[in-house]
Amino acid sequence: MKRHLYCYMTLAVMTAAVISCSGPAKPGAGLYIYNPEADGDPQADTLLTVASFLELRPDGTYTQDFGHFDYGNWNFTGTRLYLTNQRKKTYVYYVESLTKTEMELILANKKDGHFNVHLMPSSRPEKDPFSTYNNQWRIPATHKESDAEIRKRLFNHCQFWEAFFSWVDNKNESVVDVGAFPTPLKVYGNGFGLKHYDDLPAAWRSYFFDEEDCHKADTLIKHTFRRNKINWPQTDDDFKKLISGFRQLQGFLQ
CATH number at residue 93: 2.40.128.280
- Does residue 131 form part of some domain? no
Q: pLDDT tens-digit profile of 80-103? A: 999 999 999 999 999 999 999 999
* Residue 243 C-beta-side C-alpha neighbours within 13 Å: 16
Q: Is residue 5 pLDDT above 50, yes or no?
A: no
- Does residue 11 form part of some domain? no
Q: CA–CA separation, 136 vs 141, rounded Å?
A: 10
pTM of the model: 0.87
Q: pLDDT tens-digit profile of 163-177? A: 999 999 888 776 657
- Does residue 126 form part of some domain? no
- Does residue 149 form part of some domain? yes
Dihedral angle of Cα 149, 150, 152, 154, to the nearest 10 degrees: 170
Q: pLDDT tens-digit profile of 105-145? A: 998 777 889 999 999 999 999 999 999 999 999 999 999 99
- Does residue 125 form part of some domain? no
Which of 86, 118, 150 is the C-terminal boundary of a domain? Answer: 118
- Does residue 206 form part of some domain? yes
How many domains, the chain? 2
Structural domain span for residue 47: 19-118
What interhelical angle do 147-171 and 238-253 show, nearest 10?
160
In a shared domain, residues 96 and 157: no
Q: Is the dihedral of CA 173, 177, 178, 181 positive or negative?
A: negative
In a shared domain, residues 146 and 238: yes
The rounded percent of the chain whose pLDDT value lies above 70 is 85
